[in-house]
Amino acid sequence: MWSAVEAKQVHIEGYDQDDLASVRKYEYIPLDTALWSLSHAAGMWYEAYEAAFDRETIFNHSERGPQTLSDIVQPAVHDAKHHEWDIRRSLAVQE
C-alpha cells in the first residue's frame, strides 16, 4: 500500500473475499486474535489515508475502475467497525 501511494498510477486486482477467508482459514483463528487483527488493519488503513490525504494517486481497480485512496480507505475503515460490532453482537447471543 505504501509504495502504491508514492506512485501516481497504480493497478490493483480485485479478489474474492470468501476465497481469501477459506485460504486463510479464518474460522480457526481465536476470537481475540481476530478482533486484534481487525482493529490493527483498520488502524493501518487510517494511517495510509492520513499519509496520502493530499496526494492524487489513482488506483486502477480491475473491477471498480479508477479510484482515489479516499475511495478505497474510507469504506474499509468504516466497515471494520461494523464487522467488530457484528462479531461481538453474535457472540453475545451465543452466551
Say whether pTM exceeds 0.85: no
pLDDT of residue 9: 62
Alpha-carbon distance of 50 to 42, in angstroms, equals 12
Q: What residues are paired with 68 via a beta bridge?
A: 58
The residue extents of the domains of the chain are 2-94
DSSP 7: S
Task: Output the nine-digit C-alpha cell for 72.
Answer: 478505497
Residue 23 is predicted with a pLDDT of 92
Going residue by residue through the chain, which has 95 residues, state the pLDDT in tens, using 9 for 90 and above.
556 666 666 777 777 888 988 898 888 888 888 888 888 887 887 787 777 667 777 888 888 899 887 788 778 777 877 888 888 787 776 65
Residue 37: how many other CB atoms lie within 10 Å: 12
Task: Count Cβ atoms below 10 Å from residue 46 Cβ, excluding itself.
Answer: 15
Question: Could you give the 3-state DSSP secondary structure of residue 8?
Answer: coil
